[in-house]
Amino acid sequence: MISLKKQIPIKVRIPFLIFLLYLFISTVGINGSIYILDEAKNAECAREMLERGNLIVPTFNYELRTDKPPLHYFFMILSYKIFGVSPWSARLFSLIFGCLALFTTYFFTKKWLGIKIAWCTSLVLLSSLHYGVLFHMSVPDPYLIFFFTSSLFLFFECLQNNKWTYAIGMYFCLALGLLSKGPIAILLPGLIMLLYLLINRNLNIKTIIKLKPLLGLLIVLLIGLPWYFLVDRETNGEWTRGFFLEHNLERFSNTKEGHGGTFLMAPFFILFGLFPFSVFLPRATYQIIRRKEQNVVLFALTAGAIVTGFFMTSSTRMPNYTALSYPFVAIVLGAFIANFKKCKLAPELIALFMLSILIVTTGYFALHLENYLAQFKTQLVFLLTGVIGSSIALILYKRKNGKTIIPIIGYSFIIVSFGISNIVFNQIQKQNPVTMSIPIIDKNEPTAYFRKFNPSYPFYLKKKIDPLENIQNIREFLLKNSNACVISTKKSLQNVDYSDFAFIAFEQKDIFENRITVILKNKHVNK
């Protein structure tokens, strides 16, 4: 009998294995309730655009939303039309674009560096702590990462070949990136391209002609700008002012929504997001610089370094921002770990083992910070596989049996990544205050909010939640609508005396947020 390995060539087996591992990590909990704030706003905005039949003006709670361009809304709307409105359909295309980004990185690396480094690069991404979580979420980042990565890969291809199709593909991706998250999708790749050409001393007329910038400008204008023009016209410039001034310039120059911190947060996010293999990044970077490599690895290092440096200068810092660097940093790490036998890795492997213990310990105490999360401590068994895998890798290294070190680290942390996704999206979501409070809300009655509310409520109630300005508004609203609810937060109600007409029907801390959701109901009808 002919074995399966002989029947299926390795160039087919490896992509198939990558796909299976990605599904193993990413599909767990995809139908779990939406409760993370950005997810909720994006998913609801797409639902409202579908409901209103308006693909131009984005709204949240039926008011203009200027945070993001529309591409991720369009894909969510498509998913809603096919599968219905649900958390699963809101997240579906994020998962798909995560898979596309993974495969694009694999095949690009395979072409230029060989199948071994391509596999190691994929293993870096699959085992990372952040990659699987990021592509679970109904946010624009998965779309941007794919188009950002593809545009730079096509740029590199264009430099190596005279095929005009690479240049057209590059500008097509830049235009779609512009529709994914705005000018950053052109500014950042443009900066990387320019600096790479300068580093390689390749910035000349011949190169510029090869890149066809005038054709590129036309493509970007035809694909990327019409929606911006239409939304500016339909909102009398309000969306344009909000998006470019508040959500671009102000995010860069000032801290937004509490996402600040030291400039070192940017490299920290990358080291944590691509853990476990990020422990090798300092050594891998040093080797590339020392050897003065001029190939695709230098290109990947340049891209990763510029993304990191750019967001180090930004005042608003979030892990999703620096995730743009993941495919490129993964190539740097993949090239290193594919040939690690030439290096002494004891310091990195010891650090890996100690950090694995720290992750389990941190997870244990984090779950005990809130009483309602303590029940999930048994899920930490998934995290223990990282400790086991890193300890086995260290033992094998000391015994000079290095052949299986990288696979053991990779596969053990794939299980860790699966466990984190399972805890965050499949277990903790059950304690989401919105999910738990929905049964006490009469969907046939009007619902209002006072000052602040969890943005998941409009998505699940599928209706507008009206704002109330003061205590008198709350009183009148509840007396007029006997079975209605007022959603607020404990802090918002701190100095408000509602005891004579309302009571707290529900109270619970929002997951991953420093606020407590409160629901008020009519005291004389419901209590």
DSSP result, 119-137: HHHHHHHHH-TTHHHHTTS
Residues 54 and 143 in one domain: yes
> How many domains does the chain contain in total?
3
Q: Is the peptide bond before 347 cis (omega within 30 degrees of 0)?
A: no
How far apart CA 83 and CA 430 sit, in angstroms, is 23
As beta bridge partners, residue 333 has: none
How far apart CA 47 and CA 61 sit, in angstroms, is 10
Q: Is residue 89 part of a domain?
A: yes
Residues 55 and 129 in one domain: yes
Enclosing domain of residue 324: 21-268+295-334
Give the pLDDT confidence score for residue 303 in this predicted structure: 97
Residues 38 and 61 in one domain: yes
Q: Is residue 16 part of a domain?
A: no
In SS3 terms, 343-399 reads as CCCHHHHHHHHHHHHHHHHHHHHHHHCCHHHHHHHHHHHHHHHHHHHHHHHHHHHHC
CA atoms within 13 A on the CB side of 387: 11
Q: Is residue 77 part of a domain?
A: yes
Residues 48 and 130 in one domain: yes
Number of H helices, E strands in the chain: 26, 7
Give the pLDDT confidence score for residue 1 in this predicted structure: 39
CA atoms within 13 A on the CB side of 378: 2
Residues 122 and 182 in one domain: yes
Give the pLDDT confidence score for residue 251 in this predicted structure: 62
Give the pLDDT confidence score for residue 2 in this predicted structure: 45
Among the three residues 412, 431, 450, which one is the final residue of a domain in this structure?
431
The runs of H, that is alpha helices, within 27-162 are: 37-52, 71-83, 87-113, 115-127, 131-134, 141-160
Give the pLDDT confidence score for residue 4 in this predicted structure: 47
Give the pLDDT confidence score for residue 428 in this predicted structure: 72
Whether the Cβ atoms of residue 140 and residue 71 lie closer than 8 Å to each other:
yes
Among the three residues 398, 431, 464, which one is the final residue of a domain in this structure?
431
For the chain, the farthest-separated pair of C-alpha atoms sits apart, in whole angstroms, at 82
Residues 387 and 499 in one domain: no
CA atoms within 13 A on the CB side of 87: 21
> Rg of the chain's alpha carbons, rounded to an integer?
25
How far apart CA 456 and CA 35 sit, in angstroms, is 6
Residues 312 and 390 in one domain: no
Residues of the chain below pLDDT 70 = 1-8, 250-262, 292-294, 315-316, 341-343, 367-376, 526-527
Q: Each residue of 191-230: b (16+ CB within 10 Å) or e?
A: ebbebbbeeeeeeeeeeeebbbeeebeebbeebbeebbee
Q: Is residue 185 part of a domain?
A: yes
How far apart CA 301 and CA 306 sit, in angstroms, is 9
Q: Is residue 499 part of a domain?
A: yes
Residues 136 and 107 in one domain: yes
Whether the Cβ atoms of residue 447 and residue 485 lie closer than 8 Å to each other:
yes
Give the pLDDT confidence score for residue 261 in this predicted structure: 60
Among the three residues 390, 409, 431, which one is the final residue of a domain in this structure?
431
How far apart CA 452 and CA 468 sit, in angstroms, is 10
Backbone angles phi and psi of 468, in degrees to 5: -120, 135
Structure tokens at 160: 């190596």
Contacts with 145 (C-beta within 8 Å, 6 or more apart), sequence order: 97, 98, 101, 323, 324, 326, 327
Residues 439 and 490 in one domain: yes
What is the CATH number for 443?
A: 3.30.110
How far apart CA 122 and CA 141 sit, in angstroms, is 19
Residues 59 and 153 in one domain: yes
Q: Give the pLDDT confidence of 453-466 residue by residue, as tens digits.
A: 999 999 999 999 99
Residues 317 and 461 in one domain: no
